[in-house]
Amino acid sequence: MRQRPERTMEQLGGHIKTWRIVLELSQKSLADQAGVSVPALRRLESGEPGVKLDTLLRVVRTLHLDKNLLNSVDPALHVLGRSHVNATDIPPEEDIPDMEVTHHSVRPQDPCLS
């Protein structure tokens, strides 16, 4: 059964809110760092439909989760996708860096992600 888009937005917003709390960032601090308004961040965290893609991407990038987002939709990293892409385009798993969590920020361990 397919999930309603509204439910997906609620889950996504909840995950973003959880990351913000884990990193001990206020909504104002994250919004300022991402270059979005606090009301826009609140709408994103609450899962309201109609949040601009730009808002989502700015927040995800600020939390350094953009690599994870890109990997989650990369067909080369999924069985079905692999059957349709050239095997030489698939990055080895060791090329996907782990994330280091620090107080008030997330910093990629791999400097090329900065």
The angle subtended at Cα 66 by Cα 64 and Cα 71, nearest 5°, is: 130
Whether the pLDDT of residue 79 is over 50: the answer is yes
Q: Helix, strand, or coil here: 39? A: helix
pLDDT score, position 93: 55
Q: Which of 37-41, 60-64, 74-78 has the lowest mean pLDDT?
A: 74-78
Whether the pLDDT of residue 113 is over 50: the answer is no
Whether the pLDDT of residue 70 is over 50: the answer is yes
pTM: 0.66
- Give the mean model confidence (pLDDT) for residues 78-101: 60
